[in-house]
Amino acid sequence: MVSVTRTVFGELPSGGGTVEKFQLRSDQLSVDIISWGCTITALEVKDRQGKASDVVLGFPELEGYLQKQPYFGAVVGRVANRIAKGRFTLNGKEYHLPINREPNSLHGGFRGFDKVLWTPQVLSNGVQFSRISPDGEESYPGELRVWVTYTLQGGELVVNYKAQASQTTPVNLTNHSYFNLAGQGSPNIYDHEVTIEADAYLPVDETLIPTGLVAPVEGTAFDLRKPVELGKHLQEHCLNGFDHNFCLKGSKEKHFCARVRHPGSGRVLEVYTTQPGVQFYTGNFLDGTLKGKSRAVYPKHSGFCLETQNWPDAVNQPHFPPVMLKPGEEYNHTTWFKFSAA
Catalytic residues: 176, 307
| Cα 79 from Cα 177, distance rounded (Å) | 16
Q: 144-153 and 324-325 as β-strands: parallel, antiparallel, unpaired?
A: unpaired
176 marked as part of a ligand binding site: yes
Burial of 238 (0-12, 13-18, 19+ CB in 10 A): exposed
255 marked as part of a ligand binding site: no
**DSSP H helical segments within 20-70, as ranges?**
62-66
CB atoms within 10 A of CB 36: 26
65 marked as part of a ligand binding site: no
All residues at 6 or more sequence positions from 71 whose CB lies less than 8 Å from its CB, including other chains: 107, 114, 176
Q: Among residues 73, 31, 12, which one has the least CA distance to residue 338?
A: 31
| Cα 87 from Cα 271, distance rounded (Å) | 31
Cβ–Cβ < 8 Å for 229, 236:
no
| Cα 220 from Cα 201, distance rounded (Å) | 10
Q: How far is CA 248 from CA 74, 192, 217, 311, in A?
A: 23, 21, 12, 10
| Cα 293 from Cα 297, distance rounded (Å) | 8
| SS3 of residue 79 by DSSP | strand
178 marked as part of a ligand binding site: yes
Cβ–Cβ < 8 Å for 267, 47:
yes
The beta-strand segments (E) located in 35-172 are 39-46, 52-54, 75-76, 82-83, 87-90, 93-96, 105-106, 119-123, 126-133, 144-153, 156-165, 169-170
140 marked as part of a ligand binding site: no
| Cα 226 from Cα 235, distance rounded (Å) | 17
Q: Mark 220-235 as b/e (b = at least 16 C-beta within 10 Å).
A: ebbbbeeebbbeebbe
71 marked as part of a ligand binding site: no
Q: Among residues 154, 156, 155, 160, which one has the least CA distance to residue 127?
A: 160
Annotated binding site for beta-D-galactose: 81-82, 176-178, 243
Annotated binding site: 81-82, 176-178, 243
